[in-house]
Structure 1
Amino acid sequence: MNELTRYDVRNYPPRQDSVPTARRRAAWLAVAWGHPQAAADVALLTSELTTNALLHGSVWDRYLRVEVQLTGAVLRIAVTDPKGERRPDPRAAAHDDQYGRGLHIVSAVSERWGAAERVVGKTVWAELAVDDSAPRP
C-alpha cells in the first residue's frame, strides 16, 4: 500500500521571480526527502510547469499553487492556476522559437503527466519514479 509520506504546498504570486523560487524549493524538498538523484529533474519539471502556469494561466491578483508530494516511489509536482479554459496542449515549435517546448520537456522527463479541471482553474501535474528503498531522513 502506498501511503503519503511527504507533502508540501506553497502559493506564489504571478511574477517571473516565482519560477526560480518554486524550482529551488522543489529541488530542496527532493533532497530533504531522501531523493537527491531526482532533484535536477524535479527542478526542471517544477520550472516548466510553473512557467506555463505563469504564461498561460495566471491572473494578476490570483496566486499560483505549487504542490510537491512523495507517495511511496512516486514524486509528484502539481501546479494550479486560475485559468481553467487554457488547457495544456503540446505544440510544435520551430527551431528559433523562444517558447513551445515546455510540455515536450515535461513529457520526456516525467513518467507521466496530465491536467485536471477544478471548479476555478486547472492543475497540471507530472510524476517521477524515485527509488523507494532510499533511506528517509
Structure 2
Amino acid sequence: MAFAPQDPRIPDPSDPVVQEARVDYVPTPISVTRARQHATRLIADWGHPALADDTALIVSELATNAMRHGHVPGRLFRVQLTLTKTRLRIAVSDPRSERLPRPRRPSPRDAHGRGLLIVRALADRWGVRERTVGKEIWVELDLTAPRPKTC
C-alpha cells in the first residue's frame, strides 16, 4: 500500500479502460448500502469476484465518510469504478473540500475513526484529490496482486 499524491486520472495508453461506471447518491445511510451493493455486483459482472469483498468494504467506508463529513444540503456524492487491464480504481467524491481526510489513530474506546485505516490497509495505492467543488478520495487495487483472505 502506498499513498500516491499524483493524479491517477491521467490515461496510461498501455493500460486502457475496460469498464467504467459512476452513480450519484443522496447522502443518506441507505445510499451507502446501495453504493456498496452496486459496486459488488459490478465487480462480479466485470469478471473479478475475488475483488468484491474488498471493493464492498472500501466503497462502504468512503461513502459513509462522504455522507457524514462531505455532506452539503442539496448536493450528492459520487461513486465511480474504473476497471483497466491491470487495476480497479474506486473513487468517491463529495462537495466539501475544507476538511480533507487523513487517517487518524483512534483509541480503543473510540467508536469511529477507523475507516481510512481500513481503506489504507486494503489499497495498493490511494490518495485525495481536490476538485473545483469538493474532493475525491481514490483507491486502486491491482488485479494481479494476491488479495489477503478476509473473515
Question: For this structure pair, what is the TM-score category when the shorter chain's length is used for normalisation?
Answer: over 0.9
Counterpart Cα distance in 2 of 1:71 and 1:125: 15
Aligned length: 132
Counterpart Cα distance in 2 of 1:124 and 1:2: 21
Match of 2:85 among 67, 72, 92: 72
Counterpart Cα distance in 2 of 1:2 and 1:11: 26
The amino acid across from 1:65 in the alignment is R
The amino acid across from 2:23 in the alignment is R
Counterpart Cα distance in 1 of 2:67 and 2:138: 15
TM-score (norm 1): 0.93
Within a 5 Å distance, the mapping from 1:25-104 to structure 2 comes to 25-104=38-117
Q: 1:11 aligned to 2:35?
A: no
- The 3-state SS of whatever aligns with 2:73 is coil
Match of 1:119 among 132, 137, 142: 132
Counterpart Cα distance in 2 of 1:57 and 1:69: 22
Counterpart Cα distance in 2 of 1:129 and 1:79: 18
4+ runs deviating over 6 angstroms: none
1:61-89 deviation per Cα after TM superposition (whole angstroms, max 9, x unaligned): 10001001101121011001000111011
1:94 is displaced (CA, Å) by 1.1
TM-score (norm 2): 0.85
Counterpart Cα distance in 2 of 1:127 and 1:95: 28
1:1-31 deviation per Cα after TM superposition (whole angstroms, max 9, x unaligned): 1111000000000111111100011111110
Counterpart Cα distance in 2 of 1:35 and 1:73: 12
8 A Cα contact 1:50 1:79, kept in partner:
yes
1:119 is displaced (CA, Å) by 0.6
The amino acid across from 2:84 in the alignment is T
Structure 2, unaligned runs of 5 or more:
1-13, 146-151
